[in-house]
Each structure stands twice: as C-alpha cells, then as structure tokens.
Structure 1
Amino acid sequence: MTPQDLSQGNLVDNVAFLRREIDRRMRYVIGCEPGRATLNDWRLALAFSLRDRIVDSWLASRRRVREEGLKRVYYLSMEFLIGRLISDAITNLGLEEASRQALASFGQDYDAVVAEEPDAALGNGGLGRLAACFLESMASIGLPAMGYGVRYDHGLFRQSFHDGWQVESPEDWLKRRNPWEFERPEDNQVIGFGGEMREDASGRAVWTPGETVMAAAYDTPIVGWKARWTDTLRLWAAKPTRIFDLERFNRGDFLGAAEQASLAQTLSRVLYPDDTTEHGRELRLKQEYFFTAASVRDILARFRDEHGDDLRKLPQKVAIQLNDTHPTIAAPELVRILVDENGFEVDEAIETARGVLNYTNHTLLPEALERWSTSLMWRVLPRHMRLIERIDDWHIRQNRARGVERPPSTWLIDHGETRMGNLAFVMANKVNGVSALHTDLMKKTVFHDFHVMHPDRIVNQTNGVTPRRWLTACNPPLRNLLLETIGDGWTEDLGKLEDLEPHLKDSAFLEKFAAAKRENKVRLSNWLKIRTGVEADPDALFDVQIKRIHEYKRQHLNLLEAIAHWNAIRREPDRDWIPRVRIFGGKAAPGYALAKQIIKLINDVAKVINADPLMRGRLVIAYPENYNVSAAEVIIPAADLSEQISTAGKEASGTGNMKFAMNGAPTIGTLDGANVEIRDLVGADDFFLFGLTAEEAVEERKRPDHAAAAISASPALQEAIEQIASGVFSPDDHHRFSAIAENLRRYDYFLVCSDFDDYAAAQRRVDEAYRKPLEWARMAATNTARVGWFSSDRTIRSYAREVWTADTAF
C-alpha cells in the first residue's frame, strides 16, 4: 500500500494492513514475539510501520525535485521542537482510528503507546516550535525544502523542581532507539576551527584549521498532509575525525589522547551552552559554525549534483533562511567557499551569497542579537573574521556609491565586537519580521538606520502554526465537532474555519463547543493530578500562561495579580467568586538568576495558596515540571484563558497565542506581537485588552519614578509586593525574594507595576464574562472561527512568494 492508499482506504483494510505490519516489525525488526513485548516495543513497531509508508512519499518527492530541477529552500535553525513524530505521522497519514483498532487487536492501548515516545530534545521554546511547524507546512503545501540543525544529545535540559527551585538535568531522548532517523555517512562533513591563514603563490588565502571534527548527517522524513509530499530534517552530530590518539596515550597523556573525541562530543551535547564564561562562549560559537558550515557544504554538494558546477546560478535554485542570528556565520562561510575553493572574487562572492540568504529577526531586545568578541573570532575562525572585514568594506563602498555614509549603528565590527545581527542584515536579500507590529518596530528601532539605507529589504511574514498538530491531532473533541459542523475543508485550508460564523449564534452548537472544551479540561485535570498533585475542578476557569520564563513575558505580573486575588478572597470569603485554576509552565535559562527566582516564587506562592482552606473551590495554582511540546498538547486544548501579557514592544510575535485562540481560548493581553493581529481578527469585544502600548511604554520608562508612582497608586499591588518582600511566601527565609521586590520598586524596566491595575481590571472582566456560560462559549468559538489566517501554511506560501521566489510542487 502507498501512503495515498492508506489515507484514502477503508478502515477495515487499513486496520488489517497495520496489524500485519506491526506484527512483522515486532518480529523481524525488533526481534520480539508480540506476547512478550514491552510498551516501548509496541511504540517502535507502530513507528516503523508508519515510517515505511512515509518513505515511499519521501523518495517520490526527492525524485521529482531532481527530475524537474525545482528550487530548494533550506531552513537553518539551532532549534527544531518537533515533539512526538508518531503523532504527526498518524495525523497526516489519516490513520488514527486504524492505529487504535490495530493496537487494540493486540490488547494494547493506543494512547499509552503513543505517549511512550519521548519528545526530541532539539529546542527550547517558540523559535524551535516555529521551525517545526514551518517544516510540516512546507511538506503539506509541496515545497521542496530541508531543515538543518544539530542532533543534540541532551537538548536544553530536563526541568524538575527541588523545594520549588528549578533543577536542570540532561534530557535522555536518545537513550532509546529512534525509529525515525536515517544515518547518512556518505554525506558527512569535516569542519575545522582555529589554525592559521597564509597566501598561496597566486595570492589567494589558504586557511589551515588547527583542529577538526566530523559532522555526521542524520535524516528524518517530515511528512505533509495526506503524505502527498515529504521533506527532510537533516541533523548534524559531532564526531571525532580521529577516534583515539594512540601515540599520545602511549606517552602517558591519557586525557590528551581523547581530546579530539571530547571536543566532538561536547559540540552536539547540549543546546545553548552557558556563555557566561570564555570557554562557554567559544563552545557556543564553535557549535554554531559546526552546524552552519556542514549545512552550507551539503547545500552546495546537492546543487552541483543536480545543476552542475556553475555556482553563479545558486540564487536561481537555492534559498537559505537564517532562523535568527545563530546561523549567521553561514554568510561568511558561503563567501569563503566561493572565494577560496571556487575562484570567485570577493565582491562577486558576496553578491552571489546575498542572492541566496535571507534572515528572520525574532527579537527587538539588543542583548538577544548575538555579538562575538573579535579576539574570539580571530582565534576560532580567522578566515571568517577576515571575510567579515571584507564584507564590511563592501557595504561601505556600496553605500558611498549611492552617496550614503553609514552610521555607527550599521557597522559590522564595533568596539572589539562582531555584530551578528548587522552581518545577517547586510548579507540578506530579505529581512523579515514575524508580526506586523514587530516588523514596524524593527524599522523604527533596532534596524532603523539599516531601513533608511535599504528601504525595500525589510518585509513582514507573520508567524503561523500547523493546524494538523495544534488542532486536528491535539484536540479530538473540537476536531470532531468541526468535522460534524462544517466538514473537513478546514483541515487543508484553515481559512475555512470562517464557515463556523453562522453557527456562533446557535445555542445547540455553542453547548457542544462548551462540552468539547470541558472534555479537554477533564483530561488536563487528570494529568495535573498525576504530575503535580493539584486538584483542578474542570468547571473552574482554566487560566494558562505557558512559555519561556523571562522578565519581559511577565509571569510575575500574573503572579502578583494571583496574590492580590488571594488577598481579596480572604477578605471577603462569602462573595460569589469565580473558581479559577492558574496554570504556569516554562523553563528559565540556567544562567538567568532572576527568572529562576520567579520560578521559585511561583512555586512558593502556590504552596501557600493551595494549602489555604479558604481557597478550596476558589483558587489554585499548578506549575507542572518540564514543560514541552507533549505537555502543550494537553494544556492548550483545555485552556479557557490565554495569558499573553508581555510588555508591549518586546514580544516579536508569539505562536502560543495563535494555538490558544485556535483551540477556543480568548486572550488576555497587551498590544504586543501577533496579539495585535489576533485582536483585529477576533474583534475587540472578544479579546481582553489591557496595558500600555509600545509607544506609551517608551514614554513611561522616561519617568524615573514610574514604578514608585504605580505602586503608590495601587493598594493591592503595594500589599502583594510587601508580602513577597517580607517573607509571607518564604517563612524560612524572609529575604529570599528581596531582589524581585526591589527590582519592581526601583527599576521595573518591563513595566509590571505600571500595567498592574489595568491587568487586574481586565481579569475582573474575565470573571464577569465567565459567569455567562453560553456567552463565554460564543466568545471561545469566535476565536476558533476567526483565526484561520494563523495557519503556518499561509505563512510558508507567503515566504515562498515574497522571500524565496520558490514554487510549490502542487
């Protein structure tokens, strides 16, 4: 059976086929009799059965690209949060019910088998999940594409809580067999660092690296909707070019004998090694160069194989997207290969590379735009540092030819630092923001001077999410209601969710919508009980903030309001309070001390509030450990309220906001990132707006007493901060949270205090709206009906048309 046969075949035939395949894989691939198989064996048998069906589509897609000479898109990203691939495969092959019945025939529970697959530890947050959504959409719309990243042994880290503090431990996702990947030793690349440069007899630069590692290629097929097209995620694992130095070992240098192997293992061990030390910074730079250099060489090898040796034609057949600044070193690497290995003049190489490269900016925070010291660059990548100087000189000459002198903000090298955001901008054909507001602010702030010099370079590509994972797969109750109400057209064209509009006034439909939400809330309640011990009433309002822990995302604003809410209930326990479950999720970077204190504060506040007998049936707080994609798939469908409360002007886009709205959760939020576009689409009446605008936030910060004034004007805020500072939530250490309190009182750059009262008022509007179940269901369903525009299919079609000039296969 082909993938198309499976997705279109009848249920009886599909069940019979899968049953035979699972039994065969169990015996001849796993080497186990079904009667003695473990849950992990069943997971592998199912995955191998599905994978082999996907491979047919994969090979056909690759063959068509070669035969038709199609332009390829290459997406370079440090992160790919792909989650459980078994879920994607089952959804896009249309085999959920067949898989359930086939496993049931062996006495196995489908949900338990699927849950046995570990999340791939390949990312941290929104950046990596966006990359995963984009790859799935590229395959679903038939765009010839490859993703490139690092095959991390341990990813970011596994989060646990010890007495409320975040504790980091290695992820172990590769300890168990990965059925999805194919090792490609024929495509391995040797990557060098350090060493020296010299000129050959013709005057051309020759770089001789001082150390080398092997980039080993591993491919994972990424199947699109109905398996009509399948693309590839290629991940690079670092391995030594020489396994063991026997001579050094025999001389007694036992550690030195394994030095190269140690470097190689370190390069692909963890995501974002701690860069607070010089050794950490060097490792991170090497890691970024390792994967981008391997990817660029792989891209060029594929181009030669399909289109010949004339690399001047690269822009016609290749588009490379740099996902944030992490892969920016790909620009001088491509220039280096064109110049040093293919005889290009430097200016021609730069112009050719610019025709290929594009850059996605994800932040307006200056500290998030990478900078490397020039001394580190000269030590690790001397040839690339020289070429960055040449690129800077080229940019100067290009602008002077137009009568433009470059302001210092556009320099590539400044005060002993190489500015990677500037390098990415200069070397990109197009630079895109990820929401309308973010793109506008890029032009006005972080890249203002660049925009004046190159007014046509910045474009907007508002983010999207794949509806296959974030609605079809993760929310069966809502999916089934949508299929019953408007058919299945929305599964391929999410814009057709607007067909729900006539049903938004139908009380019978709204009652079904509310019932679907409650079914998801029951599932989440059970999950929270197991994970946290917290009892969450499914009839309470589920108020959710799940994202990376960072001051600008303002989890502490949410928590301050929770404390104020707790105080209000204690003062008036007999009032008719709306029951509320506040759910947090997310990790803090290991070196981010204040963010880790915020995690501890959330857990300490939760301990006090959850133990208060007056709060029973009124307010509880849950913070499950180790938030990841699989956790999000349980939490998001059950959310009643989506917390998108970042300081206006700081969030580039967000994608969690889109997932929540798609699954019927109204937003409480600021006019930040894609919140602006969500509110425009769903309507102001169905969005709980609060807070300063981006422009007002800039003006507010100019007032030196803005925090003190806001606290003085708000008794509820004043009380909550005083409780934090005085040890109400930390009786064993009254000064534990003094840093958070003092930050709010004296500094408060992210304007938590300035927005507090407006946020609290918005929360009371939420309470009043939730008192009317049918009206709340209408509001929730309106969010689902009107956010089809946030499909990543739409985003990728726009990239293909406006950035990559690439055609889809169908």
Structure 2
Amino acid sequence: MSRPLTDADRRRQISVRGLAGPENVGELKKNFNRHLHFTLVKDRNVATSRDYYMALAHTVRDHLVGRWLRTQQYYYEKDPKEGGGWGRFGVSLPVLGCPPQFWGPSQPLLCCPRPQLGLDMEELQEIEEDAGLGNGGLGRLAACFLDSMATLGLAAYGYGIRYEFGIFNQRIAGGWQVEEADDWLRYGNPWEKARPEYTIPVRFYGRVEHGPDGAHWVDTQVVLALPYDTPVPGYRNNTVNTLRLWSARAPNDFNLKDFNVGGYVQAVLDRNLAENISRVLYPNDNFFEGKELRLKQEYFVVAATLHDIVRRFKSAKFGSRDPVRKSFETFPDKVAIQLNDTHPSLAIPELMRILVDEERLGWDQAWDITVRTCAYTNHTVLPEALERWPVHLLESLLPRHLQLIYEINQRFLDVSWGGGPGVVRTGGGPRGLGIERAWIGGMENKVKFAAYLEKVSGVRVNPASLFDVQVKRIHEYKRQLLNCLHIITLYNRIKKDPGKPFVPRTIMIGGKAAPGYHMAKMIIRLVTAIGDVVNQDPAVGDRLRVLFLENYRVSLAEKVIPAADLSEQISTAGTEASGTGNMKFMLNGALTIGTMDGANVEMAEEAGEQNLFIFGMRVPDVEALDRKGCGA
C-alpha cells in the first residue's frame, strides 16, 4: 500500500511540463455546451453569435487555467528572478485569434468549428473586442514583451490600468475625425479574473511631516486599486503568465457621514472622482483637470504595481501572504522592473519612498537597489513628447515624491559637476532581435482585405493594384503630410498625361489623432479631402485610389499589414526612437520606403540598404539644416 504524498512530495511534482490537454474534440464540444447552458443560461434556440463567442472563450479559458495555476506554483517553488513591466498595451491579447497551433488537441475544434459546432470561427473572432488598454508602438511592444516572455518560459508579470473606456473609436464625418467612446467592457470580459484580496490603497495629496524617524506622508486621500488578472499563454508550451490590470475604486467609507446627513450629491461626486482614474485612456490634457487626471493615472498604476511587487518579494512561497523576507539586499537579484517610456517614470521616486520611508533603508542603499532593479526604454526622442509636469501640480498631488525628485536631482548634480571634474556616462547599444520569420505572400491576403473594405465601408478596391500603406499615429513628425504631397504629385501626373501607362496604386493612410491635437486632425481632413477629389475623378479611374482607414486598431492591423505591398516609414531622420510597424510590415513581406530613422537603420543594416527604398536626409544633415535655418 503506497503512503500518502506529503506536501514536500506534492511540491516536487510541480512542473510546467507534461500537462495533459483535453482528450478529444468531443470533450471540448461537451465543455462548450456546458458553458452555453450553465454559464450563459442559453440554448441553441435563443443563443446569439455573442453567446457562442462567450461560450467558446470560457471553454478555451478552462483549457488555460490548469497551466496558469501550475505556472504560478512553479514560480513559487523555484523562486526565479521575476520581471515586471508597465505599458499601455495596444493589443487585445485575443486568445481566440491566436494561431490554432497554440492549442494542440483543441486544434480540430478551433480550426474547423463549422462541421464540429456549426459555427464560423472568423465570425466569432470578429465579435471579440479589442481591449482598450493602449495604442501604437508603445503598447504593441509591451504586448510583445509579455508574449515573448511566456514563450521563453520566463517568470513575468505585465501591469497596466484596466480602463473602462479605451482609446476612442474613430469615426470620419464630413472628412473630420469624430471621437466616440470605446466601451470595450460593455459585454464583460471572459478572460479576466478579479482579485479583490490583493486590493491596494493608493494615496494622493496630503502633506509631509519630518520626525526623528524620518518622513511621514499624512492626511492623504485614498483610492483603492482592484486587480484583474488575464492569462498570457506562451507558444507551444505550458507556460501561462499574468497581465494584471488595476481598476480604481473609492474606499467603502466614501464620505458616508456627508451622505447620511444629506450631502448625497457631493458624496457620489467624490466617489466618481476617485473612480475616474481608470475611466478613460488618454484624457485630454489641454486643461488643468486633464493634466491632474493623467498624473493621477500614472502614479496610480506605479504605486499599486510596486506595492504588489514588494508584497510578492516579501511573501513566502506557495502564495502565503505572511512576510518572510526582511532584507532587501536580494531585491535586484529577484526583481527586474522594465519602464516602458516616460509614463511609469514615477516608479523611481515611489520605489525610493517605499525603501526609505517604509522599509527604513539608508539613502545610498535604497538608491543602489533602485538603480539595479529598474530599466528604462524610451519610445521617442522628441523633446515635446517627454512629459513635463507643473511643479505646483506635483507639489499638491505627490508632495513627498517632489521632495525625493529634488534630492535625486541634487545628488546627481553633485556627482556630475560638484567639486571637480565629473563624468556622466550614458550607455546604449544595438538591440538584437530574435525573430522567426514567417513570410506571408500571394494575393490571398489582398483579396481578403479588399473584400473586408467593401463589406465594412462599401469601398471597392482593385486587389491587383499596389497597396501603398501608411498606418500609424497621426503626427507632424511622422509626415503624413509628405505622403499627401506624393499623392497630389501622382494625381497631377495622371491628369497631365492620361494615356501614359501607370501602375495601379491604392494608397491607404490610417491612424488616430489625439483629441487635443488640432494639427493632426487637420491632416486627417486633408487626407479625406484629397481622397474625395482623386476617387471621384473619372480620368483617374482605378489607377489611383486614396483611402483613409477609419478607426485603425489591432484587429484592423491584423488585416492590412499582411495585405500591404509597400510600407511607408517616412518620419524625419532623428525623430523616431524605433518604431514597430516597420518591422511588422517587413516580416509580412512588404517592401519598405523610408528615411534612415528609428529601426529603419537597423533594418537596412541587417537586410542591406539595397533592399529598402531609402531617401531623404540623414541625422547630421537634419541637424545642420536646423542650425542653418530653412530660409538660409
């Protein structure tokens, strides 16, 4: 008779290998119907396509949960160095949209659902909402970090804000951009799991008192950060990491006294103000309240995340919430924190505040730990894109952090310039990318995208034409204006000599303008106006078409990037830190026309400059022109 397993025996069995999946397609069908009936309380007579999507999502989620739990158990047992990163995630992390190779035994169901369940997989994928967590290259890289680390089996957490309304939906009315709310959570999110037991209080305002035992931040306003976890599966392995998103909640005792004595409206307004922190992505900061809300958002995610990281560092293995680690000497050996751009930069003073004020470490030791723990990547080199905050705003909202920033700055200046020659060393090197190239060619993607455009917008394009694509955030430095000038030039050439042979070209420009960026909105209006002229000219016909791709987002990128023939990467040299769309287009087989800017430089070095269409000034030329002036 075998003896019962001890806790130690069970822990030794923890592994992320060898987890069995569903035995057969029949089991998955059974789970699908179970969720349809018992989770959604529907049957085939009344179920909608969204109900089928939700049932399938819950079925796939069940398939992930065992791996998710086992991964966390494995991390607690092995206690590896853990990576954490902030980002505005420009991706929905759509599990149903993943290639069927991710799922192994479930491939027959997910790849060919029509004969198995009578459902159209592509229709179900279209129902899945893009998560409103961010946009652009910054969010795309954050999502790529999570995907890659899960695939490599690295212990990692992603952190962000669970925005109730994400990046706005863009509608073009009369040629102008109109912003509409992106209520991506209105039907619920089947992939997330609330974790109220790990709710963290985040403090704002107040004042600083200095005593014999150090500084104390007192008389603060408290907002609760409620975490929601989403699984992030690796590719062809059993690793499932976690994306933890914070939602702002007012404390339970929100001005209850005022409420009870008749101040109902003010009490409710105060509660709404607290929860506005996670209400919307990118509030307009052209006015003071918008700036304050943005700064609140940035500190909210930083404070909640760092307290969560410190809690896990101090906790025992196997999920115990009792502190066991007292010393922070090993903190940099167990934790690596990646700061994605300037938005989470308050992590530096916040980690210093935790170490100095709460853990009572000396300044030099705390600074050494902070420097060895945090890494930073910038995503632009434009001075105006590097965030600046009014001193009086920081002083009011985060008084202790402003004191720490002053101290950090003073010590840096003392080392750099005080008392003799100082050397400030900065380091940066080329980043190697290990990417498996999967080239997607042929006409299939172009035909599919042309059919999609006709279906959703009624616009007919010739799939045999050259698909010339520029999709990115609308900004002056990205030079959509230069593309417009090229379109006008092509149009004038056709009008001048209509009988001359001309390669048919469909030019597509897409992207969103920040709500408060008037010039970017004017650029969108210019593109649509040019399109109206070109597309309605019978002398041009199908030889030149101009389209503005409305509401550019992750799910639209998944369609247009594989269909592109030519990728426009034409920012002014020296303005783009890297860019990510250029790499995605190249990996999907598009030719690149562009300047020697951002990652175009590395792409030219790796692929050979002769394999890209490079034009325009180099960085030294641009700098020389800036010094001389355009009118010189």
Question: What is the TM-score of this pair, normalised by structure 1?
Answer: 0.72
Deviations 1:603-661 (A, max 9, x none): 11101111111121201111121100000000011100011111111111111111111
Partner of 1:685: 610
Partner of 1:154: 165
Asked if structure 2 preserves the Cα contact closer than 8 Å seen for 1:14 and 1:98, the reply is no
1:542 aligns with 2:542: no
Query: Using the alignment, how far apart are the partners of 2:215 and 2:618 within structure 1?
Result: 52
User: How far off its partner does 1:574 sit?
Assistant: 0.7
Partner of 1:343: 360
Partner of 2:600: 675
1:528 aligns with 2:475: no
Query: Using the alignment, how far apart are the partners of 2:353 and 2:337 within structure 1?
Result: 16
Correspondence 1:82-121 to 2 at 5 A:
82-88=92-98, 90-94=100-104, 95-121=106-132
1:249 aligns with 2:219: no
DSSP-derived class of the 1:274 partner: coil
Query: Which amino acid is 2:273 matched to?
Result: L
* CA pair 494-257 structure 1, distance change in 2 beyond 3 A: closer
The one of the two structures with greater contact order (alpha-carbon pairs below 8 A, sep at least 6) is: 1
Query: Which amino acid is 2:425 matched to?
Result: H
* CA pair 98-650 structure 1, distance change in 2 beyond 3 A: same
Query: Using the alignment, how far apart are the partners of 1:704 and 1:564 within structure 2?
Result: 26
Query: Which amino acid is 1:302 matched to?
Result: R
Aligned equivalent of 1:458, options 424, 428, 436: 428
Deviations 1:356-393 (A, max 9, x none): 11111111101111121211111000111111122223
* CA pair 190-80 structure 1, distance change in 2 beyond 3 A: farther
Query: Using the alignment, how far apart are the partners of 1:308 and 1:328 within structure 2?
Result: 26
Asked if structure 1 preserves the Cα contact closer than 8 Å seen for 2:83 and 2:338, the reply is yes
Asked if structure 2 preserves the Cα contact closer than 8 Å seen for 1:651 and 1:672, the reply is yes
DSSP-derived class of the 1:613 partner: coil
Partner of 1:391: 408
Partner of 1:448: none
1:168 aligns with 2:185: no
Query: Which amino acid is 1:47 matched to?
Result: A
1:213 aligns with 2:223: yes
Query: Using the alignment, how far apart are the partners of 1:657 and 1:318 within structure 2?
Result: 32
Asked if structure 1 preserves the Cα contact closer than 8 Å seen for 2:573 and 2:619, the reply is yes
Partner of 2:249: 239
1:329 aligns with 2:346: yes
DSSP-derived class of the 1:545 partner: strand
Partner of 2:321: none
- 4+ runs deviating over 6 angstroms: 2-9
Asked if structure 2 preserves the Cα contact closer than 8 Å seen for 1:72 and 1:318, the reply is yes
DSSP-derived class of the 1:359 partner: strand
1:579 aligns with 2:549: no
Asked if structure 2 preserves the Cα contact closer than 8 Å seen for 1:81 and 1:124, the reply is yes
Asked if structure 1 preserves the Cα contact closer than 8 Å seen for 2:299 and 2:346, the reply is yes
Asked if structure 1 preserves the Cα contact closer than 8 Å seen for 2:165 and 2:181, the reply is yes
Query: Using the alignment, how far apart are the partners of 1:326 and 1:91 within structure 2?
Result: 35
Query: Using the alignment, how far apart are the partners of 2:371 and 2:173 within structure 1?
Result: 49
Partner of 1:197: 208
Query: Which amino acid is 2:627 matched to?
Result: K
Query: Using the alignment, how far apart are the partners of 1:278 and 1:533 within structure 2?
Result: 42
Partner of 1:714: none
Deviations 1:411-437 (A, max 9, x none): xxxxxxxxxxxxxxxxxxxxxxxxxxx
Deviations 1:220-243 (A, max 9, x none): 010000132111100000010136
1:225 aligns with 2:250: no
1:132 aligns with 2:143: yes
Partner of 1:308: 325
Partner of 1:64: 74
Deviations 1:246-304 (A, max 9, x none): 43234443332113311222101111211121111111111100010000000000001
Asked if structure 2 preserves the Cα contact closer than 8 Å seen for 1:540 and 1:580, the reply is yes
Indicate the RMSD between aligned Cα atoms, in angstroms: 2.2
User: How far off its partner does 1:211 sit?
Assistant: 1.2
Query: Using the alignment, how far apart are the partners of 2:300 and 2:99 within structure 1?
Result: 30
Query: Using the alignment, how far apart are the partners of 1:73 and 1:281 within structure 2?
Result: 30
DSSP-derived class of the 1:138 partner: helix
1:657 aligns with 2:628: no
Partner of 2:539: 614
* CA pair 619-371 structure 1, distance change in 2 beyond 3 A: same
Asked if structure 1 preserves the Cα contact closer than 8 Å seen for 2:90 and 2:137, the reply is no
- List runs of 5+ in structure 1 lacking aligned partners: 406-451, 465-492, 501-512, 710-810
Query: Using the alignment, how far apart are the partners of 1:368 and 1:517 within structure 2?
Result: 39
Partner of 1:469: none
DSSP-derived class of the 2:230 partner: strand
Correspondence 1:408-419 to 2 at 5 A:
none
Query: Which amino acid is 1:632 matched to?
Result: A
DSSP-derived class of the 2:51 partner: helix
Asked if structure 2 preserves the Cα contact closer than 8 Å seen for 1:50 and 1:90, the reply is no
User: How far off its partner does 1:584 sit?
Assistant: 1.1
- List runs of 5+ in structure 2 lacking aligned partners: 1-14, 317-323
User: How far off its partner does 1:318 sit?
Assistant: 0.5
Aligned equivalent of 2:557, options 632, 638, 661: 632
DSSP-derived class of the 1:614 partner: coil
Deviations 1:68-107 (A, max 9, x none): 1100000112344235332137452245543133453222
Deviations 1:647-681 (A, max 9, x none): 11111111111111111101011111111122223
Partner of 1:186: 197
* CA pair 525-5 structure 1, distance change in 2 beyond 3 A: farther
Query: Using the alignment, how far apart are the partners of 1:621 and 1:219 within structure 2?
Result: 42
Deviations 1:413-463 (A, max 9, x none): xxxxxxxxxxxxxxxxxxxxxxxxxxxxxxxxxxxxxxx6124x434436x
DSSP-derived class of the 1:672 partner: coil
Deviations 1:569-609 (A, max 9, x none): 01111111100000111000011100100001101110111
Asked if structure 2 preserves the Cα contact closer than 8 Å seen for 1:648 and 1:697, the reply is yes
DSSP-derived class of the 2:473 partner: coil
Partner of 2:376: 359
Asked if structure 1 preserves the Cα contact closer than 8 Å seen for 2:109 and 2:116, the reply is no
Partner of 1:17: 27
DSSP-derived class of the 2:307 partner: helix
Query: Using the alignment, how far apart are the partners of 2:16 and 2:189 within structure 1?
Result: 21
Partner of 1:39: 49
Partner of 1:782: none
* CA pair 292-89 structure 1, distance change in 2 beyond 3 A: farther
Partner of 1:552: 477
Query: Using the alignment, how far apart are the partners of 2:100 and 2:122 within structure 1?
Result: 12
* CA pair 519-216 structure 1, distance change in 2 beyond 3 A: same
Asked if structure 2 preserves the Cα contact closer than 8 Å seen for 1:322 and 1:357, the reply is yes
Partner of 1:596: 521
Query: Which amino acid is 1:587 matched to?
Result: K
Asked if structure 1 preserves the Cα contact closer than 8 Å seen for 2:150 and 2:235, the reply is yes
- Larger CA deviation: 262-271 vs 627-636: 262-271
Query: Using the alignment, how far apart are the partners of 1:21 and 1:593 within structure 2?
Result: 51
Asked if structure 2 preserves the Cα contact closer than 8 Å seen for 1:332 and 1:384, the reply is yes
Asked if structure 2 preserves the Cα contact closer than 8 Å seen for 1:19 and 1:103, the reply is no
DSSP-derived class of the 1:578 partner: coil
* CA pair 699-399 structure 1, distance change in 2 beyond 3 A: closer
* CA pair 61-5 structure 1, distance change in 2 beyond 3 A: closer
Asked if structure 1 preserves the Cα contact closer than 8 Å seen for 2:158 and 2:242, the reply is yes
Asked if structure 1 preserves the Cα contact closer than 8 Å seen for 2:16 and 2:74, the reply is no
Question: What is the TM-score of this pair, normalised by structure 2?
Answer: 0.92
Asked if structure 2 preserves the Cα contact closer than 8 Å seen for 1:6 and 1:93, the reply is no
Query: Which amino acid is 1:388 matched to?
Result: I
Asked if structure 1 preserves the Cα contact closer than 8 Å seen for 2:161 and 2:301, the reply is yes
